[in-house]
């Protein structure tokens, strides 16, 4: 049985508790008690969350966990120094150390991320980088695995991290089954961006939103201005003007970003050759996709694919 501890301290973000459900369903669907999960704090007893309600916790005591997950808070406030020291000491006894969101600040303060890659919520990435220059911050990642240390981005990414832990321990099939049970479309790969192109475009009018939704559902098809304008029930000239006014960019650039996002996701969740991914996401050929990846990530598709493959092997 794997023991998992979720470490909280006063002011912790309550969404971190969601990881408990992933391990609960792992036990239910595995057919045996695969995980012994506990919410712990340094003193034990009731610990207040960021929302004000308190959660009953076990005293950490001398207990050792196979996987210790440090919850974050909303303000990047560090817990007492005594807790930081205990986190540092526990790394020698735990198989995995992990963090959710700003919990990465706790791991970094304990010196566990020095010389390693890590991520945290994008909003706090700059502050993290300035405070811990010895850590390689990868702010555009859902979660990062570097040896025995796992870090995840914003709070919902804690579920992705928990599912990745379950996949590593008990297999991909069970992790995907749990994701479906939790009504998660699919387990996001660690290399997936924290950002969604559709959210960033922030189209205001129904017509532009309709065109973007059409594009997302038909990436492999012709998505010329004429086609998108027809979906929006506007003339091509009107559509181009309204689209640029609302999103700050021309339609062609937005479509490229949607295709890059979809192609990267395919790399993380399948083993399709690059030629197939290029065709399925509307690039047509690998060279056009390569140029788009260089513009978006500064790396070719092969480099992104290698990162995803290495993450699966960890």
Contact of 8 with 43, CB cutoff 8 Å: no
How far does the chain reach from its first CA to its final CA, in angstroms? 20
Q: State how far Cα 144 lies from the chain centre.
A: 8
Query: Of 193, 194, 227, nearest to 210 (Cα)?
Result: 227
- Which segments in the chain show pLDDT lower than 70? 185-202, 269, 307-314
Burial of 173 (0-12, 13-18, 19+ CB in 10 A): exposed
- In this prediction, residue 314 carries a pLDDT of 46
> If we measure between CA atoms, which residue out of 113, 115, 157, 118 comes closest to residue 137?
118
Tens of pLDDT, residue by residue over 162-207, are: 999 999 999 988 998 898 888 774 445 544 555 455 556 667 788 8
Distance CA 136, CA 256 (A): 28
- pLDDT value of position 310: 54
pLDDT of residue 35: 97
pLDDT in tens, 134-165: 999 987 778 899 999 999 987 788 998 999 99
Helices (H) and strands (E) in the chain, counts: 14, 10
Separation CA 188–CA 154 (nearest Å): 13
User: Residue 309: enclosing H or E segment and its boundaries?
Assistant: helix 301-313
pLDDT of residue 307: 62
What is the model's pLDDT at position 231? 94
Which CATH number is 197-313's, of 1.10.10.60, 3.40.630.30, 3.40.50.1100, 3.40.50.2000?
1.10.10.60
Span(s) in the chain for CATH 3.40.50.880? 2-181
Q: Which residues contact 245 (CB under 8 A, 6 or more apart)?
A: none
Q: Which CATH architecture best describes the domain 2-181?
A: 3-Layer(aba) Sandwich (3.40)
With beta carbons less than 8 A apart as the criterion, state whether 103 and 78 touch: no
- Ranges in the chain annotated CATH 1.10.10.60: 197-313
Residue 187 is classified by DSSP as P
Query: What values do phi and psi take at 93, rounded to 5?
Result: -110, -15
Contact 186, 176 (CB under 8 A): yes
Give residue 241's Cα distance to chain centre: 34
User: What's the CA gap between 17 and 156, in Å, rounded?
Assistant: 10
């Amino acid at each position: 049985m794997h023991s998992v501890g979720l470490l909280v301290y006063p002011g912790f973000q309550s969404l971190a508790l969601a990881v408990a459900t992933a391990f609960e369903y792992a036990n239910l669907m595995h057919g045996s008690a695969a995980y012994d999960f506990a919410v712990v704090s340094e003193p034990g007893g009731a610990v207040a969350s960021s929302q004000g309600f308190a959660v009953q916790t076990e005293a950490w005591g001398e207990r050792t966990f196979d996987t210790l997950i440090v919850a974050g808070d909303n303000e990047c406030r560090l817990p007492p120094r005594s807790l930081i020291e205990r986190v540092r000491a526990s790394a020698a006894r735990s198989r995995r150390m992990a963090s959710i969101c700003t919990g990465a600040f706790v791991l970094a303060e304990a010196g566990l991320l020095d010389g390693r890659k890590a991520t945290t919520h994008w909003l706090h990435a700059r502050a993290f980088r300035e405070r811990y220059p010895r850590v390689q911050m990868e702010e555009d990642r859902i979660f990062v695995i570097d040896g025995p240390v796992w870090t995840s981005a914003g709070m919902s990414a804690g579920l992705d991290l928990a599912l990745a832990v379950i996949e590593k321990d008990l297999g991909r099939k069970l992790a995907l089954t749990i994701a479906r049970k939790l009504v998660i479309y699919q387990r996001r790969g660690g290399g997936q961006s924290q950002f969604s192109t559709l959210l960033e475009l922030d189209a205001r009018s129904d017509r532009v939103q309709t065109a973007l939704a059409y594009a997302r559902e038909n990436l492999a098809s012709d998505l010329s201005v004429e086609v998108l304008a027809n979906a929006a029930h506007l003339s091509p000239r009107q559509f181009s003007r309204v689209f640029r006014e609302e999103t700050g960019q021309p339609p062609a650039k937005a479509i490229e970003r949607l295709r890059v996002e979809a192609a990267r996701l395919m790399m993380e969740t399948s083993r399709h050759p690059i030629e197939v991914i290029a065709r399925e996401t509307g690039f047509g050929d690998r060279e056009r996709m390569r140029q788009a990846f260089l513009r978006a990530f500064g790396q070719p598709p092969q480099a992104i694919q290698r990162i995803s493959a290495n993450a699966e092997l960890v």
